[in-house]
Structure formats: structure tokens, C-alpha cells
Structure 1
Amino acid sequence: MMAKISKGMLSFYVGLAAFLTLILVMFSFLHARKISHWWKVLLETRIFFIPLILYILVIAIGFGLLAFFLISLFRRSLYGEIEEKLRVMASGNYDSPIVTKELPHSKENHYVTRIDKDLQVIASKMQEISAELQTLNNQPRLLEGQTKEEILEIERHRLARELHDSVSQQLFAAMMMLSAITEKAKKDQVSEAQQKQLAMVTDIINASQSEMRALLLHLRPVSLEGKSLRQGIEQLLKELQSKIKIELKWDVEDVSLPTAIEDQLFRVVQELLSNTLRHAKANELEVYLHEIDQNVLLRVIDDGVGFDTSQPKAGSYGLMNIRERIAAVGGMVKIISFKGQGTSIEIKIPLIKPLASGN
């Protein structure tokens, strides 16, 4: 029953009971002395210039606070390990020793023992679901003889080629023509207002070229093409470093992962780099990839403009696509961002052993 009532309500009831008990004791004492107007005595009697009723009220509040403290200690001792297990499970570590450890059986905590058994079952089910997700994601899904990824890859390469051959070339030609016009304007000593306008147009074209480079990087490449995940990520970062003025730091561990997870993580890194270039306006970018406690952990941090994660549309379509990719392999995405302070994206995917054939 106690588990169904909040600590605050229990403390309030204890304080109320203490207050009524003290009032009843004072009433009985004054009634025994044949004092009819007992409530006047409570209001008018003063100890150190403070009415007696206030002393009773403070004592009752003290009992309530004491009850709150004792209930908190009791519940912490009773449910502390359960809460710890729930926190670990919420972070995706279903096979952590903290989760798999069974609580000692006793008559005093039989209710907690039942909860612990239910958590063990939930953790086992979550492991099975994650393993099934990773297995299904690793199986090709054919559409008219081609997998979905093959169709997307062909379409991405087509779009990248068309953008490079048309828009990118036109932007380059426009930049060359504008450079010539700017030089001529300086020689002819045109007005300062016109030179500012030319500089503004130059900045716009430079920004458009940067946007185009980011789009091309996003569209190409879309697979590891025989490389390890570490090699693929480092190639992306080096290509980015050669095209864009941005300070890069990375620490990418050579982890051994199932093919499905490798492909999804590579595409996620590609998406995050594209988002950083197109939206973050960052000067520094950090990429970390490690295997920690049967989990692969990817972190991408930038010092860009950031955004308000509480807004429904925060992070745009790109981050929604990343969440879907990571959810497809049983992982979790944690985004921390503040306007003007940059963004940190942490991705954790459990490395679950394949299910036995007998299960």
C-alpha cells in the first residue's frame, strides 16, 4: 500500500495526525481542568511571546518532516537496487552485471523480489528484440531484384552527379566571373557602395558552394565499399578537411561489428557531418568511436549555433532519420544542444550475441 502513496502524502498524513493528536491532548487536559473555552487558551497563551497553537503546529510539521526522511531512507533501502537496475536498462545495457544480478530472497522484501524477477524477464526480452532487430536489419530486403539500399545508392549517385555537373559547375563559373568583375571594379574605382554589393554577392556564392559541397558529401559515398568502419570514417573526415575550413579532432577505434551496424553507423556519421556543415556553422568538430562494456559508442560534438531540443521540429529531418537508423539496430540516441553553445550527439548500440537456434 505504501508503494502506491507518495512520500509527500504520507508525510502530510503523519503531520496532520500529530497536529490532531496534540490538539486532542490539549483539549483533554483543559477539559479535565474544567476550562470551557479551551480554544481561547490555545490562541491567547503565549510562550516567549509566541502563541501556543504555533508551537503545536511546528511540532506537527516536525513530525511530518521526520516521517518524510524516514520513509525516504526506507524506500531507498528497499527499492535502491531496483532503481539502479532501471537506470542501467534505460541506458540500453540489458546484459550489465547490475541487471543480471539477482537480489537476495527474504520474507521482508518478497514484493521487491517479484519486481526484480519481472525486470529480469524484461531485460531478457529486450535483448531478444535487439538481437532480432540486428538480424533482420542484416538481411537484404529485395524490391524488383534489388535491395532498398542498392536503389538508394544508385539514386544518390545520380543526384550527386547531376548536382556536380550542373549546379556546382555553374556556381564555380559564376564565382570566376564575379572575381573578374570585382577586380575590374577596383581598377575603375567604382563607388564603395557598389563594391560592398559585389562583396555581398561573393559571400552568397561562397556560402552556396559550401552548401553544395556538403550536399555532395552527404550523397556520396553511401557505403563502406569493402573498407572497415574506421577507414570509412577517417576517409570522410579527411575529405571534409580538404574541402572545408574546419578544425577536426577524431579518435576512432577499430571495432569489429556486424555488417548491418557498420553500415548504419557509417551512414549516420555521414548524415551528422552533412548536418554540421549545412546547419551548425561550426568551427570545430570532434568524432569519437569506441567499444565500451559490450556497447559501441559514437559521439559527435561541434561548437556551432546549436538548437532548442525542446522544440517539436528541433534537429530537422536529418536527426529524425538518424534516430530511425539507430532504432533499427536496437540502439539509442542522446542529443544535448543549447543555442549558441554547440551540439553533442551520443549514439549507443548494444553488441548482442546472435540468438541460439534453439530459442
Structure 2
Amino acid sequence: MITKFSRGMIAFYTGLASFFMLNFMLFSYLYASGKENWLVEVFQIKLFFVPIVFHVLVLSMLIGLVVFISISYFRSRQYGPIEEKLRLLASGNFDSPLLDMPIPHAAENRLIADVDHDISSIQEKMKQTSLELQQLNARPQFVDGQTKEQILEAERHRLARELHDSVSQQLFAAMMMMSALNEQAIRNDAPESQKKQLALVTDIINASQSEMRALLLHLRPVTLEGKTLKQGIEQLLKELETKIKISLKWDIEEFTMLSSIEDQLFRVIQELLSNTLRHAKAAELEVYLHRIDNNVLLRVIDDGVGFDAENQKAGSYGLMNIRERISAVGGTLKIISFKNQGTSIEIKVPLLKEA
């Protein structure tokens, strides 16, 4: 395919060749006419009070522009539909009607017809691969008589219980003691430096409590425990609203899908909420879940500190887990994040088989 760079180069060299060709014809004409100083005459002849050399230059530029527009039109006509189909496949829209539409003029071009056929074959293979991934993910994986999810759930319960009974309680006790110390410092009119130090320690303990709440949220059971995905997400968000000072907004649509996809999406949302609470320092969080055609579309948006999405280390271990979970159900993950401007995470999972 002709890229934008090569189109520009072709137009430039065409204009340059035209400029030299027209000047050569002009020089040849003046030389053949027997004029003396014919070389100087080129710069003295004027058309509309402008030296003819400049007219030649403008005409050459126009020829190059016409070539550029012609190539662009040809490229758009021939390859535009192919590029659109490839974009749809890359974004996971396997069932888009545009993929089934024949490419115009494909019958006139054997190469384009073959490419269109190859795209259709890739579409079917990608759909089949995604379906196999979803079916494989739905099968329980046994380790010593227990499923992997059962082992993980039991371990999460144990960790959550120990954290709540030890660290969380100690943080709560430390917070109560700091409150008493702050009140005593105010009554005794303590020095301002001492009050600032007490306030700093209080803020650190308060931040640790928030971190602990986020960890306990992250360690909740893996499964939805008999609830629908909509019910599970809303319960999670309402519980979060009572524990964390953050503005929440959500719009969750209820529809049927494979239970394996529901469980994975629920865990992904837990992971995203945990990451937001622990790292984003966001004041607002939005969660949207909808079915669009034959795809599940999940979007989580916050106004936090953001990060460099191109930097793999900045994405943290949590995002690595999310990518693995989404890949396991044949989905795609798109992250848009800018420092100090928030983060938008969009997840799309194809529904290739009804629950």
C-alpha cells in the first residue's frame, strides 16, 4: 500500500521533474529561436508582470498537487475499505456488518479480492479462537481435588480475615489515640510545630486505613456468589461509597452472558477499583457496563493522577492481571491515561455464545 510518506515523495518528485522539463522546453525554444543571451531572456520574459520562471514553478507545484490528490483518491477507493475492516478486527468487532460487506471493485482487482477473502478467513479464525478461549476459561482447573478458583478464594478469605483482625484493628486503635492526642494538644495550647507533627501522623494513619480498605476490597471472593453481574457491581460500588470518600457514578445494564465471562469481568472491576483507590488519588470515579451489538463494553473512568500508558512498569502488576483476564475471554483492553488528567479504561469482550 502507498503510505502518506511515499505519496508526498511521489508528488514532490513529480513536481520537480515537471519543473525541470518545462524549463528545458523553455530553454530549448529560446535557443532554437536564435535569440542572443537566451539564458538571460528566460528571466526577462514576463507574463502578467511576473517572470515566466515563476509561472513554471507554480505550474510544477500544481502538477505535483494533482498527482498527490489522484494517488490519495485511488488509495482511499482501493484500500480504504480494507483498512476499515482491519481496524474492526483489531478492536474486537468480529460481528460488525461492515466486515461482511464486499469491497467495491474487488471483482476488477484480483489482488484486492484475495485480500478481502483473507480478511474473512482471519475473521472466522479470530471468532473461533475467542470462543475456544471462553470455553476453556469456563472449565474448572483442578489442583489436588480443588479448583483453582476455590483455592484462591480460600486464600483470599484467610488473608482478608487476618488483615482485618490484626492490622486494620491496630490502625483503628492508633487513629483513636491520635485523635485524643490532637484534642489534648489543642487544650494545652501546644506549640504549632507539635500540632503540625501530630496532624502529619494522623494523615499518614488515615491514608494507611484507606489503603487497608482498598486491600480488603481487593481480597473479596472471586465469584459473584449467585448474583448477576449488575447486582454484584452495584453492591460493590454502594459498599465502596460508604467506606471511601469518593464521588461514584455508574450505569450498569443487565443482560445474559456466560458465567465465566461474568466472573472475569467482576474480578476485573474489583482490580480496577482497587488500583484506583490505591494509586489514582481520584475524587470521581465512573463505571459503565453495556451490551453493544454482540459485545460487552466496560468503561472505568477516573480523574486521578494518571500514568504513562506506554510504560509497562507504570501500568502495575494489577493491570497485567487485567490484561491476562481479558485475553482469557478473547477480549480487548484499551487504556487512555495522561498525567494529572485521569485515566479511561475500555474493555470489550465478544459474546460469541449465549449463556
Task: Look up the equivalent residue of 1:28 and give its one-letter code.
Answer: S
| Equivalent in the alignment of 1:357 | none
* Deviations 1:147-205 (CA, angstroms, capped at 9, x unpaired): 22222222222211111111111111111112222222222222122112111111111
Q: Work out the percentage of aligned pairs sharing the same amino acid.
A: 64
| Equivalent in the alignment of 2:214 | 214
Change in Cα spacing, 1:157 to 1:42, as seen in structure 2 (3 Å) is farther
- 1:44 shift after superposition: 5.1
| Equivalent in the alignment of 2:54 | 54
| Equivalent in the alignment of 2:25 | 25
1:42 has 2:42 as partner: yes
Matches of 1:2 and 1:276 in 2, distance apart?
Answer: 43
Change in Cα spacing, 1:83 to 1:187, as seen in structure 2 (3 Å) is same
| Equivalent in the alignment of 1:351 | 351
| Equivalent in the alignment of 1:130 | 130
| Equivalent in the alignment of 2:97 | 97
1:237 has 2:246 as partner: no
Matches of 2:104 and 2:63 in 1, distance apart?
Answer: 33
Change in Cα spacing, 1:243 to 1:56, as seen in structure 2 (3 Å) is same
- 1:113 shift after superposition: 1.7
TM-score, normalised via structure 2 length: 0.93
Write out the 4+ residue segments of structure 1 that deviate beyond 6 Å after TM superposition: 1-5
Matches of 2:4 and 2:216 in 1, distance apart?
Answer: 57
Task: Look up the equivalent residue of 1:320 and give its one-letter code.
Answer: M
Change in Cα spacing, 1:37 to 1:153, as seen in structure 2 (3 Å) is farther
More deviation in 97-106 or 325-334? 97-106
- In structure 2, runs of 5+ residues without a counterpart are none
- 1:39 shift after superposition: 4.0
- 1:2 shift after superposition: 6.6
What's the RMSD between the two structures over aligned residues? 2.2
Contact 1:280 1:304 in 2 (8 A): yes
- 1:12 shift after superposition: 2.4
**SS at the partner of 1:6?**
helix
Task: Look up the equivalent residue of 1:339 and give its one-letter code.
Answer: K
| Equivalent in the alignment of 1:88 | 88
Contact 2:302 2:342 in 1 (8 A): yes
Contact 1:15 1:60 in 2 (8 A): yes
* Deviations 1:266-286 (CA, angstroms, capped at 9, x unpaired): 000000111111111112111
| Equivalent in the alignment of 2:140 | 140
Matches of 1:282 and 1:4 in 2, distance apart?
Answer: 40
Contact 2:2 2:75 in 1 (8 A): no
Task: Look up the equivalent residue of 2:190 and give its one-letter code.
Answer: V
- 1:331 shift after superposition: 0.6
Contact 1:175 1:205 in 2 (8 A): yes
Matches of 2:285 and 2:324 in 1, distance apart?
Answer: 23
- 1:43 shift after superposition: 4.3
Task: Look up the equivalent residue of 1:336 and give its one-letter code.
Answer: I
Contact 2:27 2:42 in 1 (8 A): no
Matches of 1:104 and 1:61 in 2, distance apart?
Answer: 32
Task: Look up the equivalent residue of 2:74 and give its one-letter code.
Answer: F
More deviation in 251-260 or 266-275? 251-260
Matches of 2:297 and 2:107 in 1, distance apart?
Answer: 41
Aligned positions, number: 354
**SS at the partner of 1:322?**
helix
Matches of 1:309 and 1:101 in 2, distance apart?
Answer: 35
Contact 1:78 1:109 in 2 (8 A): no
Change in Cα spacing, 1:257 to 1:107, as seen in structure 2 (3 Å) is closer
**SS at the partner of 2:108?**
coil
Matches of 1:166 and 1:124 in 2, distance apart?
Answer: 53
Contact 2:281 2:305 in 1 (8 A): yes
More deviation in 198-207 or 85-94? 85-94
* Deviations 1:334-356 (CA, angstroms, capped at 9, x unpaired): 111222222111110011138xx
- In structure 1, runs of 5+ residues without a counterpart are 355-359
TM-score, normalised via structure 1 length: 0.92
Contact 1:283 1:303 in 2 (8 A): yes
Task: Look up the equivalent residue of 1:223 and give its one-letter code.
Answer: T
